[in-house]
Amino acid sequence: MSNDTILVTGGAGYIGSHIVKRLGEMGENLVVLDNLSTGFRDAVLYGEFVEGNTGDMELVGRLLATRSIKSVLHFAAHTIVPESVAQPLKYYANNTCNTRNLLQCCIDAGVEHFIFSSTGTIYGIQEKHALSEESPLQPINPYGTSKLMSETMLKDVSAVNPLRHVILRYFNVAGSDPDGLIGQSTENATLLIKVAAEVATGKRASLSLFGTDYPTPDGTGVRDYVHVNDLADAHIQALNYLRQGGASTTLNCGYGHGFSVREVIDTVNHVNGAPIPVVEHPRRAGDPPQLIAAVDKIQKTLNWKPRYDDLAFIVKTSLDWEKKLAAKQRA
């Protein structure tokens, strides 16, 4: 634990709220900034909550100056790939321009540590089985491009300022808090395991399977699914790394192996105890056939050891949370 205060942007969202919970349990001083466009106030279990936009330089500057903030964890972003294809400027405005404003505020305030929520989507479509941090960066959708532009800004800023950073490139984040206190509550979510859990609990009529003709073993897309609590631990270890003087770096965050959409559906059916309805559709624009992380670097740099590398467990925590949401709606 440190006496420094941490600013968490997007801390009321799915991933941000899980990191806030873990940091709060450790006794860290937190300020959580979120505009609640997709986040939920009741998901913020620790810290001071401030409603507002990450791109509001007056607000962010005031928070940084008055709360003695030395570390920033930046999650605030739009994250839906198909939407980014349909509305690219929405993604460049929120994900890239607002990050630019946040970075300016951080430099002006003398922030020392910055952890950025990036994505494996920036690798695009590649031949390699597992993508390392040195793989070519060739995003095929505006979401990935918006994140790559933010990465570039952060690296350029860190090169000429004392600010040190860790960029974490997430692969497919899934699951919910095993304690059942928070979870993935986003409306109209597109994440496969979340949607499958909604089908299993009757919130949706069926699961849409996009693409059955990919060059993969069963024709469906393959992804590296990482439990959200393991991702939270990676952020905590990244923060400790920076506090101990670690140099700026970029790290993949995944398990190093993947599951196809059909394999995920089979696991959901097994954990659920009954099959869910599935409707097959053509491929969606902007979806690569396969995304799997090479994870040697994060394991070596942070000594990160995932605790929940088990697809059935990931699915179970998702289903448990979905059942809790359904029960709350019926009450």
Mean predicted confidence (pLDDT) in 112-124: 95
* CATH architecture of the domain covering 192-223+257-291+308-330: Alpha-Beta Complex (3.90)
Listed residue (3, 4, 58, 63) closest to 33, CA to CA: 63
Listed residue (207, 187, 220) closest to 287, CA to CA: 220
Domain span(s) for CATH 3.40.50.720 in the chain: 5-174+225-253
- Catalytic residue of the set 46, 91, 143, 225: 143
Largest CA distance in the chain: 57
Would you state the pLDDT for residue 189? 83
> How far separated are the first and last CA of the chain, in Å rounded?
39
Domain span(s) for CATH 3.90.25.10 in the chain: 192-223+257-291+308-330
pLDDT by residue (tens digit) across 226-269? Answer: 999 999 999 999 999 999 999 999 999 999 999 999 999 999 99
Q: Is 143 a catalytic residue?
A: yes
Residues in CB range of 96: below 8 A, 6 or more apart = 146, 149, 150, 153
Supply the DSSP string of 42-93, one letter for each residue. Answer: GG--SSEEEE--TT-HHHHHHHHHHTTEEEEEE------HHHHHH-HHHHII
5-174+225-253: CATH topology: Rossmann fold (3.40.50)
pLDDT by residue (tens digit) across 59-103? Answer: 999 999 999 999 999 999 998 888 898 999 999 999 999 999 999
pLDDT tops 80 at residue 286: no
Q: Write the burial class of residue 42 (CB in 10 Å: 0-12 exposed, 13-18 middle, 19+ buried).
A: exposed
pLDDT tops 60 at residue 1: no
List the beta bridge partners of residue 113: 71, 164
Q: Report CA torsion sign: 254, 260, 261, 265.
A: negative
